[in-house]
Amino acid sequence: MNVGYWNINKKNNKEILVYILSFLTELNLDLLFISEYENINFDEFKESIINNDYEIKEGLSCKKVIMIKKNNLDYNIVTDSKRFIISKSQNQKMTIASLHLQSNPNSNSSERGDTMHDLYEDLTSDEKIFDKVILLGDFNCLPTDEELVKRGKIRSIPFKEEVRRSDEQYMFYNPILLMLNEKSRDYGSFRYTGSYNSIIWFPFDQVMVSRELIDRIDNVMYLKKVGNLDLVNDNGYPNVSDHLPLFFTILEEE
């Protein structure tokens, strides 16, 4: 299963639609989650989806994330909140939550932590939530920040074996730090130089999986090009959105 996430930074429909369609078709995406989509005309978008192979799913309360899925997948949104949607597939016995946490530096870690707590409450209050869980989105924090590593609720770390050994129910494996690479200039998904304490590149867009999916997540990457379309300028900086898209694959169960 090929999955993508992209914060499109409220780009105009006519400018961004070509990129979204290319993202879907060139990478044969099964699921695509999009944030900051306010300026997309959904009627035009639906008419442009190739061969009507995809459909759009929106939450009732969440205006931060939408889901575009292949028609042959049975993922449906089962609950949502202001900043996240939770979808489930009965066939795949899998739960996927996509979110867009409060912006950084315009909010603080406690606000993002509160949203992660709300997500935890929704996940654990549903007795039908499957053990196989994927969390993805724009977390607006580093993988090592408190809101993602604090013990007791949803917690993620970049070490598979530690996740396997843990007795914490919602301990997740987060591979994002391990994919950052100097040789290929994979520094992060978001570039920001607007403060004195900025590290310039931030891997804010992340995916994390429950222990049942540790060995099935593969090909995690930030995309700089989709088909013939460049997503960065000559310096390698994001220039279509201020975020690079996130892509990964969930391998078939053996």
For the segment 183-203, what is each residue's pLDDT rounded down to a tens digit? Answer: 888 888 999 877 667 788 999
pLDDT of residue 68: 94
| DSSP 8-state class, residue 228 | T
**Cα separation, 86 vs 90, whole angstroms:** 13
**Cα separation, 65 vs 82, whole angstroms:** 9
28 pLDDT band, cuts 50/70/90, is: very high
Residue type, 179: M
Q: Which of 14-18, 68-72, 118-122 has the lowest mean pLDDT?
A: 14-18
**Cα separation, 108 vs 137, whole angstroms:** 18
The total number of residues shown for the chain amounts to: 254
What does the block give as tokens for 1?
């299963």
128 pLDDT band, cuts 50/70/90, is: low
How many Cβ atoms from other residues are within 10 Å of residue 38's Cβ?
11
For the segment 2-15, what is each residue's pLDDT rounded down to a tens digit? Answer: 999 999 998 777 77
In the predicted model, what is the mean pLDDT of the chain? 88
Q: Which fold has domain 2-250?
A: Deoxyribonuclease I; Chain A (3.60.10)
Per-residue pLDDT at 48 exceeds 80:
no
109 pLDDT band, cuts 50/70/90, is: confident
Beta bridge partners of 254: none
pLDDT of residue 51: 60
The full set of domain ranges for the chain reads 2-250
Return all residues near 57 (Cβ < 8 A) that are at least 6 apart: 66, 67, 68, 69, 75, 76, 77, 85, 87
How many Cβ atoms from other residues are within 10 Å of residue 129's Cβ?
18
Element containing residue 224 per DSSP (H, E): none
Return all residues near 197 (Cβ < 8 A) that are at least 6 apart: none
Q: Which of 21-25, 33-37, 42-46, 122-126 has the lowest mean pLDDT?
A: 42-46
For the segment 228-246, what is each residue's pLDDT rounded down to a tens digit? Answer: 999 999 999 999 999 999 9
pLDDT of residue 192: 84
Among 37, 50, 41, CA closest to 14: 41
- Diameter of the chain measured on Cα atoms: 50
